[in-house]
């Protein structure tokens, strides 16, 4: 199957379930993104600021660019003018920097708080107390719209473990809704290897790369 066919098949299946498909195009050439774009894809996910800026300059402006990587504070300014959704907000200081840059250009910026759900040490994210703290202080960030939560499960085939991690994040998402308000509606969890399980546990946004664009070199 081609990139176009893989995107279309996935998109149709997921759209029928009310799930937004973010096509993760990191490290892939613009020609691959264009193939997906021409089939109808408008949600692309990138991990690296410079790569995202370069691709955005070379593609149509109706694309919704999702920044899904680990964002350094000193790079927020480069994506602030155009990014659609920043998935990986993992500290209050990053939230404060996004507020600063958003205020400077008077553009509301949508974000997800990244929650640490995996067993591995290396993954970024807030714990439950930090999420609560962020949601309790939203008044300090009037230019930031917190749309929901994002999480990455363990790098494992253990369905019980993954189900537990996704279920935990869904629970936290539901509990947070009351505090965060009506715009808090997005739960980003699930990648190529685990998206079906993530959706079964309540995900409504999946970030899929290799299952669309092929393995990364
Ligand atoms: C690379 C990446 C993905 C996509 O991974 P695949 O396994 O290729 O689908 C999803 N989310 C994040 C945060 C990533 O870094």
* Adjacent-strand bridge partners of 66: 45, 85
Mean pLDDT of 118-125: 80
Nearest-atom number in ligand 1 for the CA of 216 is: 8
119 vs 145, residue with greater confidence: 145
- 67 Cα distance to chain centroid: 6
Question: Ligand 1 in contact with 28 (CB < 6 A)?
Answer: no
Interior angle at CA 116, CA 112 and CA 120, nearest 5: 140
Relative to the CA of 26, which ligand 1 atom is closest?
Answer: 1
CA 94/CA 11 separation, integer angstroms: 32
For residues 111 and 188, what is the distance between their CA atoms, to the nearest angstrom? 11
Please check the confidence at residue 121 and state whether its pLDDT lies above 90.
Answer: no
pLDDT grade for 122, boundaries at 50, 70 and 90: low
Atom 6 (ligand 1): residue with closest C-alpha? 209
pTM, two decimals, is: 0.97
Q: Name which of 33, 31, 75 is nearest 50 in CA terms.
A: 75
Which atom belonging to ligand 1 lies closest to the Cα atom of 208? 9
Vertex 96: Cα angle to 179 and 133 (nearest 5): 35
Encode pLDDT of 41-76 as tens digits: 999 999 999 999 999 999 999 999 999 999 999 999
Closest CA to ligand 1's atom 7: 192
Q: How far is the CA of 159 from the centre of ligand 1 (A)?
A: 18
Per-chain mean pLDDT for the chain: 96
pLDDT tier, 143 (very low <50, low <70, confident <90, very high otherwise): very high
pLDDT at position 33 over 80: yes
Q: Which residues lie across from 112 on neighbouring strands?
A: 148
């Amino acid at each position: 199957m081609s990139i176009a066919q893989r995107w279309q098949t996935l998109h149709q299946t997921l759209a029928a379930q009310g799930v937004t498909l973010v096509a993760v195009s990191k490290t892939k050439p613009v020609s691959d993104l264009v193939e997906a774009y021409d089939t109808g894809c408008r949600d692309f996910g990138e991990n690296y600021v410079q790569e995202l800026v370069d691709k955005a300059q070379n593609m149509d402006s109706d694309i919704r660019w999702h920044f899904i990587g680990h964002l350094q504070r000193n790079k927020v300014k480069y994506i602030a003018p155009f990014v659609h959704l920043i998935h990986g907000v993992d500290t209050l200081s990053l939230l404060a920097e996004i507020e600063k840059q958003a205020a400077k250009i008077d553009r509301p910026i949508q974000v997800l708080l990244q929650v640490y759900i995996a067993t591995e040490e290396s993954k970024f994210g807030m714990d439950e107390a930090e999420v609560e703290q962020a949601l309790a202080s939203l008044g300090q960030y009037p230019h930031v719209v917190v749309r929901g939560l994002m999480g990455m499960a363990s790098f494992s085939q253990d369905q019980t473990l993954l189900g537990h991690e996704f279920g935990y994040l869904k629970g936290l998402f539901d509990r947070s809704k009351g505090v965060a308000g009506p715009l808090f509606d997005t739960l980003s969890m699930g990648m190529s290897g685990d998206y079906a399980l993530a959706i079964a546990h309540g995900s409504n946004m999946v970030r899929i790369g290799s299952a669309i664009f092929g393995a990364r070199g």
